[in-house]
Amino acid sequence: MKRLVILGAGTAGTMMANLMVKKLPKHEWELVIVDQNRTHYYQPGFLFLPFDIYQPEDVIKPINDFLPKRVKRIVAGIDRVEPKSNQVLLENGELITYDLLVIATGCNIAPEEVNGMMSDKWYKEVFDFYTYDGACALRKKLQTWEGGKLVIHITEMPIKCPVAPLEFAFLADAFFTEKGMRDKVDITFVTPLSGAFTKPVASKQLTYLLKEKNIKIVADFAIERVDSDNRKIHDYGGQEVDYDLLVTVPTNMGDPMVARSGFGNDLNYVPTDKCTLQSKVADNIFVIGDATDLPASKAGAVAHFEAEVMVENMMHFIEGKPMRFEFDGHSNCFIETGHGKALLIDFNYTHEPVEGSFPLGGFGPLKLLKETRMNHMGKLAFRWVYWNMLLKGVPIPFVPATMSHAGKDFSAIECD
Amino acid sequence: MTTTLAGKEVNVNAEGYMTDLNQWTKEIALEIAQQEEVTLNEKSWQVITWIQEQFKNEDALTIRKVGKSGVTDIKEFYELFPNGPLKKASKIAGIPKPVSCI
């Protein structure tokens, strides 16, 4: 009997378990998934928790509800992977050997990486919204906050769901407007990049949103420290920004298990072939989702597109055939702009987001890079798709793993 | 689109960042540095070489990474390339500007 071990039962790991169960014959393969948590979080929903659009119960379900019965479930922390001996050491001392390993341990925030970010003001005046606890704490804060300087801040790239901080700013504008207190709130968006939008087409199409919503931008801000006593953030170049309420996206890092295994990069991401998704650590280790070091977005949609490619490559690997399925960095996401509207973007490693229609070229019904109500409905409907189709590995109609060029307007940019 | 730098025609994007590192030369770097009002010294060239290596390895460039590079520290990086060092150093090194997905 051979054994496939999947580390992590989040979005990527759960999808892989569901897809591989269908591919691997029962009498030949045993499937094992390891995760210390019992709860599956719908992470895209964290953005909506602070603004009371979602309730906490909308974003949590038991992990076991989404795993096939055939998959053996181990609830334990992972100490390390030992690629040379094909085994995983668990924190409880148990050893599991594998023939094939999938690393899907994701990434998490590391606020301790910035001086002063973790202080006695954490979850009082300084918040994250990338964790369930952070989003719930912020939700409580916003219920009674009387206004002042709201600073939304990105520490450094790469981060999970790179547009979420901007969406947070848009939703905050709508939230305070609807509460009748927008005039009491000053919103500033602070980014280490050159602006809120960094790609030429998106920048040209979307910069109006910031003006319209009266959101100030501080760009090229590389944070050095948080001065939580005086409510200021400082950058290495001497810039400083005052806040009353700081909503920060701390440094994102891969799981400490990767560092303990000795094969991560400086942010604990696993070196991965960007086309085949095979690790550069060992041939029988594949990596998916936020755990990789790929130059693609860290997002559930990317994990979903990766899964389709990876399953085929893993089957070829098992059969000893060359891998020929290539991931193109395909990603898409809805961007909430507040007041019941959203944008949709679709892009890959080489193509930036452009205008057009999606998923059916020329027809839509969703519009790319345009604010519409339909896109917002799409984002809300996606929660159902996530729980009922995506995690279970049910193909999503009309949305292939590699990016379609149909119905898109690439005339505004040069393609290579 | 293309532009002429140091007497050579090179491919650039709308913001003037080179799109083909193979076309990069030291003379081109000097001309971009002049446009950006940056003076290059020996240390600057070491940083530029290190940045180009990161790009070739497809490693994302961040200020933190520069700080841990062993070539320079963050304070010195700001002195070498004042006002948005990552952006300016990338432009001079002939690699794309660090970006997000939109």
pLDDT at A236 over 50: yes
Mean pLDDT of A229-235: 97
The larger pLDDT score, comparing residue A130 to residue B16, is at A130
Contact A149, A243 (CB under 8 A): yes
If you ran DSSP here, which 8-state letter would residue A403 be given? P
pLDDT at A250 over 60: yes
Q: Which residue of A has its CA nearest to B98?
A: A193
Q: With bands split at pLDDT 50, 70 and 90, how would you rate the model's confidence at A61?
A: very high
Interface test with B, best of A157, A290, A371 (most B CBs within 10 A): A157
Mean pLDDT of A273-280: 95
Backbone dihedral angles phi then psi of residue A380, each to the nearest 5 degrees: -70, -40
Contact between B99 and A251 using a beta-carbon 8 Å cutoff: no
Length of chain A: 416
Contact between A158 and B60 using a beta-carbon 8 Å cutoff: yes
Helix B85-93 to helix B42-56 angle (10° resolution) is 80
Q: Is A224 helix (H, G, I), strand (E, B) or coil?
A: strand
pLDDT at A412 over 60: no
DSSP code per residue over A67-135: S-TTSEEE---EEEEEGGGTEEEETTS-EEE-SEEEE---EEE-GGGSBTTSSTTBTTTEE-SSSHHHH
Which two structure tokens, joined as six digits, stand for A21?
A: 């169960």
Rg (CA), chain A: 22
Contact between B101 and A199 using a beta-carbon 8 Å cutoff: yes
Contact between A220 and B87 using a beta-carbon 8 Å cutoff: yes
Residue B2, burial from CB neighbour count under 10 angstroms (0-12, 13-18, 19+): exposed
The share of chain A scoring above pLDDT 70, in percent, equals 98
**Chain segment A28-39, per-residue pLDDT in tens:** 999 999 999 999
Contact between B63 and A295 using a beta-carbon 8 Å cutoff: no
Q: Which residue of B has its CA nearest to A416?
A: B19
Query: Which residues on chain A place their C-beta less than 8 Å from a C-beta of chain B?
Result: 113, 156-158, 162-163, 192-194, 197-200, 202, 206, 219-220, 222, 224, 236-237, 251, 265-266, 274, 293, 295, 297, 331, 333, 335, 345, 347, 352-353, 414, 416
Which residues in chain B touch residue A347, judged by CB atoms under 8 angstroms apart? 101
Please name each of the domains of chain A with its CATH number: 2-106+255-318 (3.50.50.60), 112-252 (3.50.50.60), 331-409 (no CATH)
Residue A155 half-sphere exposure toward CB, CA atoms < 13 A: 26
What is the rounded CA–CA span in Å between residue A414 and residue A416? 7
What is the rounded CA–CA span in Å between residue A274 and residue A270? 11
Contact between A293 and B59 using a beta-carbon 8 Å cutoff: yes
Query: Which residues on chain B place their C-beta less than 8 Å from a C-beta of chain A?
Result: 1, 13-15, 19, 58-60, 62-65, 68, 74-75, 77-78, 82-87, 97-102
Which residues in chain B touch residue A331, judged by CB atoms under 8 angstroms apart? 101
Q: In what order do the strands lie in the sheet with A78-82?
A: A78-82, A87-90, A95-97
Nearest CA to A324 among A273, A284, A276, A278?
Answer: A276
Contact between A200 and B15 using a beta-carbon 8 Å cutoff: yes
Residue-level pLDDT at A415? 33
Smallest Cα distance from A13 to chain B, Å: 24
Nearest to B14 among A162, A163, A200 (CB): A200
Number of separate helices (H) and strands (E) present in chain A = 7, 25
Residue-level pLDDT at A353? 85
Q: How many beta carbons lie within 10 A of that of residue A97, not counting itself?
A: 12
Nearest to A347 among B65, B75, B101 (CB): B101
Helix B42-56 to helix B26-35 angle (10° resolution) is 110
Residue-level pLDDT at A414? 38
If you ran DSSP here, which 8-state letter would residue A250 be given? P
Look up the ipTM and state it: 0.81
Residue-level pLDDT at A338? 92
**Chain segment A338-387, per-residue pLDDT in tens:** 999 998 888 888 888 888 888 877 777 888 888 899 889 888 888 998 99
Contact A148, A58 (CB under 8 A): no
Length of chain B: 102
Q: Output the average pLDDT for chain A.
A: 93
Residue A136, burial from CB neighbour count under 10 angstroms (0-12, 13-18, 19+): middle
Q: Where are the alpha helices (DSSP H) in A232-299?
A: 256-261
Strand partners, B36: none
Q: With bands split at pLDDT 50, 70 and 90, how would you rate the model's confidence at A1?
A: very high
Contact between A297 and B13 using a beta-carbon 8 Å cutoff: no
Mean pLDDT of B47-76: 89
**Chain segment A85-101, per-residue pLDDT in tens:** 999 999 999 999 999 99
Nearest CA to A206 among A347, A368, A329?
Answer: A368
pLDDT at B63 over 50: yes
Which residues in chain B touch residue A219, judged by CB atoms under 8 angstroms apart? 84
Smallest Cα distance from A302 to chain B, Å: 12
Q: With bands split at pLDDT 50, 70 and 90, how would you rate the model's confidence at A78?
A: very high
Contact between A251 and B64 using a beta-carbon 8 Å cutoff: yes
Q: With bands split at pLDDT 50, 70 and 90, how would you rate the model's confidence at A391?
A: very high
pLDDT at A134 over 90: yes
Lowest mean pLDDT among A123-127, A204-208, A226-230, A361-365: A361-365
Residue-level pLDDT at A411? 60
Q: Point out the catalytic residue in the list B1, B14, B99, B101.
A: B101
**Known catalytic residue at B101:** yes
Nearest to B75 among A193, A197, A236 (CB): A236
Q: Is A5 helix (H, G, I), strand (E, B) or coil?
A: strand
Pairs across A and B, CB distance < 8 A = 80
**Chain segment A6-26, per-residue pLDDT in tens:** 999 999 999 999 999 999 999
Q: With bands split at pLDDT 50, 70 and 90, how would you rate the model's confidence at A416?
A: very low
Residue-level pLDDT at A368? 87
What is the rounded CA–CA span in Å between residue A13 and residue A292? 13
pLDDT at A298 over 60: yes
Smallest Cα distance from B84 to chain A, Å: 6
**Chain segment B69-88, per-residue pLDDT in tens:** 899 998 899 999 988 898 99
Which two structure tokens, joined as six digits, stand for A338?
A: 């507040």
Contact between B99 and A198 using a beta-carbon 8 Å cutoff: yes
Residue A393 half-sphere exposure toward CB, CA atoms < 13 A: 21
Mean pLDDT of A317-332: 91
